[in-house]
Structure 1
Amino acid sequence: MLIPQGMAYAMIAGLPPVFGLYAALLPQVIYAIMGTSRQLAIGPVAMDSLIIASGLGALSLSGINEYISMAIFLALFVGIIQVLMGFLKMGFLVNFLSKPVISGFTSAAALIIGITQLKHLLGITVSSNKTLPIIKQTLAQLDQINPVAVAVGLAGIGIMLLIKRISSQIPAAIVVVIFGISLAYFTPLTNYGLILVGKIPDGLPSFGVPSVPWEDLGQLFTLALAMSLIAFMEVVSIGKALEEKVKSNTINPNQELIALGTGNIVGSFFQCYPTTAGFSRTAVNFQAGAKTGVAAFISASLVALTLLFLTPVFYYLPNAILASIIMLAITSLIDLNYPKELYKNQKDEFLLLIATFLITLFVGIQEGIILGVLFSLLLMVYRTSKPHMAVLGQIKGTTYFKNINRFATDIIDRKDILVVRFDAQLFFGNKDYFYKELKKHIKAKGPELKTIIINAEAINYVDSSAIYILKYLILELRQKEITLMIAAATGPTRDILFKTGVTELLGAENLFVRVVEAVEFIDGVHPRTEIEDRVSRQKF
C-alpha cells in the first residue's frame, strides 16, 4: 500500500514519484525506535504533500532541481521545529487545533487534492495548484480530454471499490498498480496519449547535506511551522484513536514530537521530504495485527528492495492509476456527518468549520489553518467575555439552589436576597459584563433587596482587574445598605480573595462554604458553627 501511495503523494507535492519511496524509508524506522505508538505508519501523506506544493509553488523557484532541494530542506526545517517543540514540552499546542477547524481544513484539503489530480485523470495539462485557476484551466481544456486516461482512471477506482467490498484485507492499491502496468505494457494504450510515470532512478537514496536557502528562510518559516503542527496533529489524533481500540494509554505528545522531528531531520539527509502518520496505512497496519515497531522495519525493507530491483517495472505505471488511488484515498478525509451535527446543535462552531473550509479551499492551505485557529481562539475569547450568569433560587422543601429559569414553579421567591452564579473565571475580559449583569439583576429585585450572595463555585480564577471591580462593588453596595456575601469559593479563589484584600473589605464573616448556610445565617435559623467558620475562612 505504501509503495503506490508514496509515489502518488510525491506527485501531489510536485516531486518525481521516487521521492515518495525515499520518504517511506528512514522516517518510519526512526519513529519505530523513538515513537510511543506501536502501530502508527509513518511516511508521505496527501495533506502534507499538498501543503508543500502550495507553499513552494508560491516561491520563485528556477526549476525542478531547486524545487526538490527546497522540499528536502523543508523536511530538515520541520524536523528541527518539531524536536525543539518536543524538548520545550510544547505538545499542548495541538489543543489549539479545535475539531471544527481540523474538520473544515481536512475536508477542504481533500477536495483540493482531488481537484489537483483531475489533470492526470483527464490527461490534460494544468499549471496551477490553486482551486479556482485549476477549475478554470480544466474547463478551458474540456475538448482536449484524453478518453483513454479517463477510462483507465475510472477502471482503477472501480476495481478498488470492488476489492474493498470483497475484503478490506486485500491491498487494493497494489492490485490496481499491477493492473495499470499490465495495461501499459501489454496493450498499445500508450500510443493513444496515456501518460506514464516513466523512468524511476534505481537504488537507495544517497547521503547529502540539505542546502539552506537563506534568502527564503523567512517565507519558509511560516510554512514549516504550519506543517510541524499539522503533522503533529495527525500523529496524535491517529495515535489517540488507536489507543481507544487497544485500551492502552501510551501516547506521549512531547516524545511524539521528538520522534517525528528526528525522523524528518535524518530523512532530509537521505532525500526525504516531510513525513507524518498516514490514516489509511495505519488502519491497515493495525488490522493486519501489527503490535510492535518491527512492522515498520519490514515495510521499510520492502520499499528498499523495490528501489533496488523493481523500479524498471514502475516505468509503465500510468499517471491516471496513481490519480485514481489518490481520488479514492481522499474520500475518507471528507466528513459530512460532523458539520450536520454542528449545524443542528452548535451554530457558532458550524460557522467556524465553514469559514475554515472556504478559506482553505479558495484562499490557501496555510491561510486556512492559521485563520481557522485564529477564529477559534476569537470564538473562545468571545464566549469567555460573556459567560453564563444564572440567578438562583431555593427549591421548596430542599437545600438546593437552582436556576430560577429552569425551576420557576418550584422556587421560593424572595425579594430580600439575590443569589447569582457566574460560570467562568473572573478576569479583565468579562469583568464589565459581570458588573453590568449583576446591576441588571439588582434593579430587577427592587428596593427590598438587602443581601447579594455570589455562588463562586465556577469561578476558578480572579485577576487584578476583576479584583478592582469586586472592591468597587462591595463599597457601592455598602452605600446602598446591601450586604455582599461569597459562597462556595474554591481554595485557590479564596486564596486570591485573602491575598488581595477583598476578604478584609468584604468581612470574613461574609464567606460561606455553601449558599444555604449563607441564607440560614441571614434568617438566623442556623448560626455558623465553628467548623463552618473555619472551613469558609481557611486560606493558603
Structure 2
Amino acid sequence: MWLLKRYMPVFDWGRDYTRATLSNDLIAALIVTIMLIPQSLAYALLAGLPPEAGIYASIAPIILYALFGTSRALAVGPVAVVSLMTAATVGQVAEQGSMGYAAAALTLAFLSGGILLLMGLFRLGFLANFLSHPVIAGFITASGILIATSQLKHLLGVPGGGQTLIEMLAALAGQLNQINPVTLTVGLAATGFLFWARKGLKPALLKAGLPPRLAEIIARAGPVAAVLATTLATWALSLEAHGVAVVGSVPQALPPLTLPDLSPSLVSALFVPALLISVIGFVESISVAQTLAAKKRQRINPDQELVGLGAANLGAAFTGGYPVTGGFARSVVNFDAGAETPAAGAFTAVGLAIAAVALTPLIYFLPNATLAATIIVAVLGLVDFSMLKTSWSYNRADFAAVLATILLTLGFGVETGVMAGVLISIGLFLNRTSKPHIAEVGLVPGTQHFRNVLRHMVETSPRLLTIRIDESLYFANARYLEDYVLDRVLQRPELRDVVLMCSAVNEIDLSALESLEALNLRLSDLGVRLHLSEVKGPVTDRLARTNFLEELSGELFLAQFDAYKALTTPRAEA
C-alpha cells in the first residue's frame, strides 16, 4: 500500500474524498471545461495539427495525471509554448497537414513521456534547477512574441510563413496586398472583445448586480462567447464564401487509439527536441504547481510530478494528441474555481469527452481568426519585459542571459532559444561558482564575530591573514582560491599565518584537495603556516581519510575566534 501511495497519490487523497469535495471539484471542472474547449482547439491550430487533436490531448492526459500527479490544482493539457515547440520540431521532419506530421507529433509525445517518466523513476527532478529563472522568463517572453506573431496570418487571412520573428514579419510584409478584409474584421472584433473580457467583463457584470461567483464564471467563459458569436456570424452571413477560413469538419468521436511511429530515423531526429520540450514543460508545470500548492500549505513532489507528466504524455501519444504539460492559465482558473483534488481534472476530461462526441459538429463554421485571437490574447500575458529592467539593476550577468535568450529565440527559433537557455544557465552557474566570493575578515571589537575588512571596522594582525570562503571547493574554483591566497601572501612579506575560514564550505572534492595540498607546500616554502577553521564535520571526515591533515603546516581550529586568539598571542607571533 505504501508503494501505491508513493507512485499513485490518488490512494492518498482519495481516502478522504467527501461529498463537499465532490461538489467543489465538479464546479471547478465545469468552469475549466468551458474554458478549455476553445483553448484546446486554438493550441492544436498553433501546433499545426487538426483542431480535434487539442481536445484529444486534453482527455486521457488529464485522467492519467490525476492518478499519478501530486498537485491538487494543476490542469494538464496543451499549452502555448509546448504547442509552438511542437510545430517548430515536427515541421522539420514532415509537411504540415500530412499523416506523417500527425504521426511525428505522436512520436514526440511518446518520447517526451518516456523521458519524463525515466527522470521521475530515477529521481532526477533536481536537474530542472539548472535552468535559471531569468533565462526561463526570457525564453517564455520571446516565445509569447513568436506565438502572437505566428497567429497574425490568421487574423489577416494571408498564407504567412517563417519560423523566426524576422522571417514571419518579412512574410507578412510581402503579403499585405492579400489581406482579406472580412477575415481581418472578424479577427479584430474577436481580439478586441477578448481583451475587454479579460479586464472589463467581470466589473461590468458586478456593476449589473450579478453575484461575484457567477460574474467570475461568465467572465472566464469570454472565449466561449467569442467562439459562439463569430461562428453564428460566419454561418448566418456565409462568410466562408468571402474567404474566411473556418475549422471545417471535426470528427465526432472519442479520442482514437493511436500508435507513434518509432522508426529509428524519426526517433533520432526527435529525441533532442523531445528532451528540450520535456525540460521546459516540467519547469513550467512544477513552477505553477508549487505556487498553487503553497497557497494551501500543500507539498509537491518534483520526482512524482515527472512521473505524472510522463504518464500524461504517454497517454497523449496513444490517443491522438501531442506533448502536454501543466498550463498556468487553466491551473489558476482550476484553483480559483475551488478545485480541491486532481479529481477535478478527471471530471474536466469527462466534460471534454462529451464535447468531442456531441459538440464538434457545431464548430464547423468557427473562424480560424477567432482561434488565433484566443491564442494572441492568452500568450501576450506571458510577455514580460520587466525582467530586463529588474535584472539590469540587480545583476548584469542575469541581464545578459535574459537578453541573449530573448534575442536568440526571436532570431533563430524556439529550439535554438531553448538550447541557448540551457547552455546560458549552466554557463552562469559555472561562472559564479568558478569565482567564489572570498573575503579577508577581521575580528569585530568586543565580540567573537568576524566580518569583511572592507565593510566593517575590525581588528587584524599584520602577521595573520584570515580568508573566509563562501562556496564549496571543487575542480572549477580551487585554482582561483589558490591564486588569490598566494597573491595576498606575496603582497605582505610580514605574514606568518594564513587561516582559511571554511564555515560556508560544504564539500571539498579531490581536485580542490590537491589544490589545498599544493597551497600548503607553497606557503611552507615561503615560511607561512596554513590553518583551517570552522570546517564542517562531513568535510573533516573526508579530509581525515587522506594525509592532508597530517601534512598541514598549521592547525585545524574548531572556531575562528580560537584561531585568532591562538595566532595573535605574543608566543604565537614569536
Who is 1:49 aligned against?
A: 83
Do 1:392 and 1:419's aligned partners in 2 also have CA atoms closer than 8 Å? yes
- The correspondence for 2:270, drawn from 220, 223, 226, is 220
- The correspondence for 1:3, drawn from 16, 37, 45, is 37
- The correspondence for 1:144, drawn from 153, 178, 181, is 178
For these two proteins, the number of residue pairs brought into alignment is 522
Who is 1:426 aligned against?
A: 473
Do 1:195 and 1:319's aligned partners in 2 also have CA atoms closer than 8 Å? yes
SS of corresponding position for 1:124: coil
Tell me, yes or no, if structure 1 residue 492 matches structure 2 residue 538.
yes
Do 1:54 and 1:130's aligned partners in 2 also have CA atoms closer than 8 Å? no
- The correspondence for 2:352, drawn from 303, 307, 314, is 303
Code of the residue aligned with 2:126 in structure 1: it is F
Matched residues in 2 for 1:427 and 1:76: separation? 38
Who is 1:211 aligned against?
A: 261
Relative to 1, partners in 2 of residues 1:520 and 1:129: Cα closer, same or farther, differing over 3 Å? Answer: closer
Relative to 1, partners in 2 of residues 1:313 and 1:104: Cα closer, same or farther, differing over 3 Å? Answer: same
Deviates more, 1:12-21 or 1:511-520: 511-520
Residue 301 of structure 1 and its aligned partner are, at CA, apart by: 1.8
Deviates more, 1:300-309 or 1:517-526: 517-526
Residue 491 of structure 1 and its aligned partner are, at CA, apart by: 1.0
Matched residues in 1 for 2:107 and 2:526: separation? 69
Tell me, yes or no, if structure 1 residue 479 matches structure 2 residue 513.
no
CA displacement 1:437-478 (0-9 Å, x = unmatched): 112211333x32222221111222222233233223323333
Relative to 1, partners in 2 of residues 1:60 and 1:288: Cα closer, same or farther, differing over 3 Å? Answer: closer
CA RMSD of aligned residues (A): 1.9
List alignment gaps of at least 5 residues for structure 2. 1-34, 203-215
Matched residues in 1 for 2:519 and 2:115: separation? 48
- The correspondence for 2:444, drawn from 373, 391, 395, is 395
Deviates more, 1:59-68 or 1:360-369: 59-68
Matched residues in 2 for 1:335 and 1:526: separation? 63
SS of corresponding position for 1:425: coil
Residue 269 of structure 1 and its aligned partner are, at CA, apart by: 1.9
Who is 1:511 aligned against?
A: 556
Matched residues in 1 for 2:427 and 2:543: separation? 29
CA displacement 1:221-240 (0-9 Å, x = unmatched): 11111111122122211101
Who is 2:485 aligned against?
A: 438
Matched residues in 2 for 1:388 and 1:494: separation? 22
Who is 1:415 aligned against?
A: 462
- The correspondence for 1:166, drawn from 198, 201, 204, is 201
Relative to 1, partners in 2 of residues 1:61 and 1:166: Cα closer, same or farther, differing over 3 Å? Answer: closer
- The correspondence for 2:323, drawn from 261, 274, 297, is 274
Tell me, yes or no, if structure 1 residue 238 matches structure 2 residue 272.
no
Matched residues in 1 for 2:402 and 2:155: separation? 30
Matched residues in 1 for 2:526 and 2:108: separation? 66
Do 1:208 and 1:270's aligned partners in 2 also have CA atoms closer than 8 Å? yes
Who is 1:179 aligned against?
A: 229
SS of corresponding position for 1:203: coil
Tell me, yes or no, if structure 1 residue 76 matches structure 2 residue 110.
yes
CA displacement 1:290-309 (0-9 Å, x = unmatched): 11223223222222222212
TM-score normalised over the length of structure 2: 0.87
Matched residues in 2 for 1:7 and 1:526: separation? 82
Relative to 1, partners in 2 of residues 1:403 and 1:66: Cα closer, same or farther, differing over 3 Å? Answer: same
Matched residues in 1 for 2:353 and 2:65: separation? 17
CA displacement 1:250-275 (0-9 Å, x = unmatched): x1112111122112223322211111
Relative to 1, partners in 2 of residues 1:476 and 1:148: Cα closer, same or farther, differing over 3 Å? Answer: same
Code of the residue aligned with 1:26 in structure 2: it is A
Who is 2:11 aligned against?
A: none
Matched residues in 2 for 1:246 and 1:39: separation? 10
Relative to 1, partners in 2 of residues 1:477 and 1:257: Cα closer, same or farther, differing over 3 Å? Answer: closer
Who is 1:520 aligned against?
A: 565
Relative to 1, partners in 2 of residues 1:473 and 1:2: Cα closer, same or farther, differing over 3 Å? Answer: same
CA displacement 1:77-104 (0-9 Å, x = unmatched): 2212221111111111211121012111
Matched residues in 1 for 2:62 and 2:127: separation? 24
Tell me, yes or no, if structure 1 residue 195 matches structure 2 residue 245.
yes
Do 2:148 and 2:380's aligned partners in 1 also have CA atoms closer than 8 Å? no
- The correspondence for 2:371, drawn from 322, 329, 340, is 322
Relative to 1, partners in 2 of residues 1:451 and 1:129: Cα closer, same or farther, differing over 3 Å? Answer: closer
CA displacement 1:205-247 (0-9 Å, x = unmatched): 2223333233222111111111111221222111011012222
Who is 1:536 aligned against?
A: none
List alignment gaps of at least 5 residues for structure 1. 528-540
Deviates more, 1:482-491 or 1:109-118: 482-491
Matched residues in 2 for 1:392 and 1:431: separation? 20
Who is 1:288 aligned against?
A: 337
Residue 112 of structure 1 and its aligned partner are, at CA, apart by: 0.9
Residue 526 of structure 1 and its aligned partner are, at CA, apart by: 11
Do 2:93 and 2:101's aligned partners in 1 also have CA atoms closer than 8 Å? no
Code of the residue aligned with 2:122 in structure 1: it is L
SS of corresponding position for 2:499: strand
Relative to 1, partners in 2 of residues 1:517 and 1:224: Cα closer, same or farther, differing over 3 Å? Answer: same
TM-score normalised over the length of structure 1: 0.92
Do 1:419 and 1:453's aligned partners in 2 also have CA atoms closer than 8 Å? yes
SS of corresponding position for 1:402: strand
SS of corresponding position for 1:316: coil
Do 2:163 and 2:413's aligned partners in 1 also have CA atoms closer than 8 Å? no
Relative to 1, partners in 2 of residues 1:105 and 1:394: Cα closer, same or farther, differing over 3 Å? Answer: same
CA displacement 1:166-190 (0-9 Å, x = unmatched): 3243211111111111211222433
SS of corresponding position for 1:452: strand
Do 2:139 and 2:405's aligned partners in 1 also have CA atoms closer than 8 Å? yes
Matched residues in 2 for 1:146 and 1:8: separation? 20
Do 1:153 and 1:321's aligned partners in 2 also have CA atoms closer than 8 Å? yes
SS of corresponding position for 2:467: strand
Matched residues in 1 for 2:531 and 2:241: separation? 88
Residue 75 of structure 1 and its aligned partner are, at CA, apart by: 1.6
Do 1:41 and 1:282's aligned partners in 2 also have CA atoms closer than 8 Å? yes
Who is 1:117 aligned against?
A: 151
Residue 157 of structure 1 and its aligned partner are, at CA, apart by: 1.9
Residue 199 of structure 1 and its aligned partner are, at CA, apart by: 1.3
Relative to 1, partners in 2 of residues 1:488 and 1:204: Cα closer, same or farther, differing over 3 Å? Answer: same
Residue 525 of structure 1 and its aligned partner are, at CA, apart by: 8.3
Who is 2:137 aligned against?
A: 103
Do 1:384 and 1:430's aligned partners in 2 also have CA atoms closer than 8 Å? yes
Who is 2:59 aligned against?
A: 25
Deviates more, 1:272-281 or 1:208-217: 208-217
Code of the residue aligned with 1:270 in structure 2: it is T
Code of the residue aligned with 2:124 in structure 1: it is M
Do 1:31 and 1:259's aligned partners in 2 also have CA atoms closer than 8 Å? yes
Matched residues in 2 for 1:197 and 1:484: separation? 76
Residue 61 of structure 1 and its aligned partner are, at CA, apart by: 4.3
Residue 76 of structure 1 and its aligned partner are, at CA, apart by: 1.7
